[in-house]
Amino acid sequence: MPIDIEKVLGAEIPPVDARWNADKVILYHLGLGAGVPATDPAELQYTYEGDLKVLPSFAVIPLMGTIIGLFGLDGVNINLAMLLHGEQEIELHAPIPVKAEITTTATVTDILDKGKGAVVIVEARSATRDGEPLFTNRFSAYIRGEGGFGGPSGPPVGNQPPDRAPDHEVQCPTLEQQALLYRLCGDKNPLHADPSFAAKGGFDRPILHGLCSYGMACKAVVDTVLGGDVTRVAGYAARFAGVFFPGETMVVSMWVQGDRILLGARSKERDAPVLSNAVITVKESA
């Protein structure tokens, strides 16, 4: 197994400093497919610095340094071709500003045995330079082929949608070069760009970043249910249920239940799941 559980479980990942400005926020939004139609005032709030807002899913972008730090821990030896994102959760402690400098501290909180793979769970806490908490990320790295070591399997997956038609459904088309654009946000895993590397992982072509799908679904909910108010999102969790290929259309389904919006996403062309067991918790509007 490429993970020494005794060394890695409970290990602290070295702190990571990050900074961003309007250009990086806009690049992230463009990587999700924002800006269509280009002159739509609602879309310009994502793509033009004149009245720029920040999607809450942007909280995953400073996480890249922490993920790299996980791979650098003593006792971790992961083949990137066998690595997939398992689940992602963000908790917002304050609205994300257009410009900021932060420090992220992180800990490996669990290592689970999923039979066909192993899951490493990390909690990463990000705060401003003044020490004010901004957001917390919890993510799981799924390493295919490394399960069966006899560890705990973890709790059952929650956030099941109700057995009825969704309250809203949105179709989100993607560009064939979507992954090539999104990788400029910081995730340079060749799985999303290099066909030969993708083939080593068992894919016939590069796949879209799971966190790009995650952000696309978040934008769909904010725009459809929350009237574009990014500040109403208190938290967002999702399970990565399958791969999505650039050029496909993502169908995002939403069920509104009080202060919880349950959602799922699938590929329209293959009718295959992409995100499942997902929920956005919302705050009352000001």
Q: Is 192 a catalytic residue?
A: yes
**Residue 15 half-sphere exposure toward CB, CA atoms < 13 A:** 9
Active-site position among 29, 85, 192, 209 = 192
If DSSP codes are grouped into helix, strand and coil, which group holds residue 119?
strand
CA dist 220 and 49 (Å) reads 21
Sign of the alpha-carbon torsion through 199, 202, 206, 211: negative
Torsion of CA 171, 177, 183, 189, to 10 degrees: 110
Residue 241 phi, psi dihedral angles, 5° rounding: -95, -10
Q: Is 93 a catalytic residue?
A: no
Active-site position among 187, 204, 209, 259 = 187
Tokens 């280009």 sit on residue: 38
Helix (H) or strand (E) holding 93: none
* Exposure class string for 233-264: b at 16+ Cβ within 10 A, else e: bebbbbbbbbbbbbebebbbbbbbeeeebbbb
CA dist 267 and 274 (Å) reads 7
CA dist 210 and 52 (Å) reads 25
Task: List, in sequence order, the alpha helices (H) in the chain.
Answer: 5-8, 22-31, 41-47, 64-71, 178-182, 195-200, 210-224
CA dist 212 and 60 (Å) reads 10
Closest by Cα among 30, 102, 23 to 65: 102
* Residues with a known catalytic role: 187, 192
